[in-house]
């Protein structure tokens, strides 16, 4: 059915959606201490001070992340029920406490429990708040909004290991966790309390700031959607799920061991931390490009493109024998992450609607966080068995290559927007 935008007249004040994008970027960026790139700069400290092996730390990360992931479907439903504003207030407060707990870690069990909560609350729950905030405030412009959000979040997260590494060098790793524990709620609680609005309807506005009309002049409400039980019976939902899971698993594995990988290829630890910067450029450019494509097309081939990019990143990981190739590799990881974020955020809402977006995102986040749990230990074991990161990356490249083939034959579900 043909629809055309007409000026939104429900609420005379300026559309707040782009302000929500800024707040979503802020929330997403402050997940950094709970993300793999943030945790990666603490790995050597855990190994040295807690007298653990790299495999033991990877196993703790796996268990902590997997256990934390189990809460994601429930968190998604609660976000749908109570809105992103209340969710951010609660989650940011708890995340601050979880970060504080990391500064007191004394054993492998304590480390594992610490990973449970920083992964559940940071990488999982707070990231979901960021994603859902944008999804409910936009419809036809969702791809571009997600693209801008991804650019800002990627920049914030990529800067996290650089900032944390400098603080560790100056104050030590335990004090660094305490500083992060103060910074997160100090920024995110006022942002949510004073500025965040859960849905456009809460202030008399509509997604995109415009009302869409069909060819008969009737308003076409964009707040439609498949519920979770319906979505899991549709093949294209599993394609998006595969993109989310594999990207999270494989990029997390590479980033978790990035410092060790780069040092083995001749970089210092400080230089290795700087290699997260090219990921900002890659994620920013790819997120904006795919976001625009999602707005203008049905996005059918974008999951396959995302998986091919992930395959290429792993192939690059096998030839890191010069600084230029290391930079290109880091850039490619950013491109891949930007592709996957756009597919899992924009394409999910485009194909399955936003009425139950929190619930659907809960399942995607569950699988994404579970994938990120498997990534570090999978790469660690493969590297140990095969003798090098290059051989391990080559073997793991087969997974996204197979997913790309499957994605090429799947079509989007029928839209219910006009129902």
Q: Is residue 236 part of a domain?
A: yes
Radius of gyration of the chain (CA): 21
Neighbours of 346 (CB within 10 A): 30
Lowest model confidence (mean pLDDT) among 75-84, 152-161, 219-228: 219-228
Domain that holds residue 95: 12-202+225-407
pLDDT in tens, 129-156: 998 999 889 888 887 888 788 778 878 8
Q: Is residue 418 part of a domain?
A: no
Helix (H) or strand (E) holding 29, with range, is helix 17-29
Which pLDDT does position 14 carry in this prediction? 87
Q: Is residue 318 part of a domain?
A: yes
Q: Grade residue 417 by pLDDT with cuts at 50, 70 and 90.
A: low
Q: Is residue 207 part of a domain?
A: no
Q: Is residue 414 part of a domain?
A: no
Instruction: State the average pLDDT over residues 26-40.
Output: 91
State CA 170 to chain mean position distance: 29
Helix (H) or strand (E) holding 379, with range, is helix 357-386
Whether the pLDDT of residue 208 is over 60: the answer is yes
Contact 36, 122 (CB under 8 A): no
With a CB cutoff of 8 Å and minimum separation 6, the contacts of 319 are 325, 390
CA-to-CA dists, residue 315 to 2, 38, 375, 402, angstroms:
44, 24, 16, 15
Distance between CA 235 and CA 351 in Å, rounded?
12
pLDDT in tens, 171-199: 999 999 999 999 999 999 999 999 999 98
Contact 101, 52 (CB under 8 A): no
With a CB cutoff of 8 Å and minimum separation 6, the contacts of 406 are 239, 242
Which pLDDT does position 6 carry in this prediction? 44
Domain count, the chain: 1
pLDDT in tens, 80-99: 889 999 999 999 999 999 99
Distance between CA 67 and CA 343 in Å, rounded?
25
Q: Grade residue 52 by pLDDT with cuts at 50, 70 and 90.
A: very high
Q: What is the CATH number for 141?
A: 1.20.1250.20
Q: Is residue 64 part of a domain?
A: yes
b/e 15-43 (16+ beta carbons within 10 angstroms → b): bbbeebbebbbbbbbbbbbbbbbbbbbbb
Q: Is residue 65 part of a domain?
A: yes
Whether the pLDDT of residue 346 is over 70: the answer is yes
Lowest model confidence (mean pLDDT) among 13-17, 181-185, 218-222: 218-222
Which pLDDT does position 274 carry in this prediction? 67
């Amino acid at each position: 059915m043909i629809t055309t935008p007409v000026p939104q007249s429900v609420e005379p004040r300026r559309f707040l959606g782009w302000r929500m994008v800024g707040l979503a970027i802020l929330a997403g960026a402050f997940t950094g201490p709970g993300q793999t790139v943030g945790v990666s700069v603490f790995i050597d400290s855990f190994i040295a001070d807690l007298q653990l092996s790299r495999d033991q730390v990877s196993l703790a990360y796996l268990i902590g992340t997997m256990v934390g992931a189990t809460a994601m479907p429930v968190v998604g439903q609660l976000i749908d029920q109570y809105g992103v504003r209340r969710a951010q207030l609660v989650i940011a407060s708890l995340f601050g406490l979880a970060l504080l707990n990391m500064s007191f870690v004394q054993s492998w069990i304590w480390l594992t429990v610490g990973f449970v909560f920083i992964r559940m609350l940071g990488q999982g729950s707070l990231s979901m708040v960021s994603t859902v905030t944008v999804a409910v405030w936009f419809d036809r412009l969702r791809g571009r909004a997600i693209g801008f959000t991804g650019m800002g979040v990627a920049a914030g997260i990529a800067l996290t290991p650089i900032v944390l590494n400098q603080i560790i060098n100056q104050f030590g790793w335990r004090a660094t966790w305490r500083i992060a524990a103060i910074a997160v709620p100090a920024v995110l609680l006022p942002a949510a309390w004073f500025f965040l609005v859960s849905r456009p309807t809460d202030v008399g506005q509509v997604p995109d700031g415009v009302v869409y009309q069909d060819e008969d002049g009737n308003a076409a409400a964009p707040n439609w959607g498949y519920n979770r039980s319906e979505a899991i019976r549709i093949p294209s939902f599993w394609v998006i799920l595969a993109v989310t899971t594999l990207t999270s698993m494989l990029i997390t594995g590479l980033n978790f061991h990035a410092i060790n990988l780069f040092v083995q290829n001749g970089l210092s630890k400080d230089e290795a931390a700087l290699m997260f910067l090219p990921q900002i450029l890659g994620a920013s450019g790819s997120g904006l490009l795919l976001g625009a494509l999602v707005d203008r097309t049905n996005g059918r081939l974008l999951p396959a493109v995302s998986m091919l990019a992930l395959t290429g990143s792993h192939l690059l990981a096998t030839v890191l024998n010069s600084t230029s190739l290391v930079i290109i590799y880091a850039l490619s990881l950013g491109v891949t992450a930007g592709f996957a974020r756009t597919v899992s955020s924009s394409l999910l809402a485009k194909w399955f609607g936003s009425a139950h977006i929190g619930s659907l995102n809960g399942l995607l986040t569950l699988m994404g966080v579970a994938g990120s749990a498997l990534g570090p230990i999978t790469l660690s074991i493969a590297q140990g068995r095969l003798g090098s990161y290059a051989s391990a990356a080559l073997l793991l490249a087969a997974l996204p290559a197979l997913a790309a083939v499957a994605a090429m034959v799947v079509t989007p579900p029928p839209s219910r927007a006009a129902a």
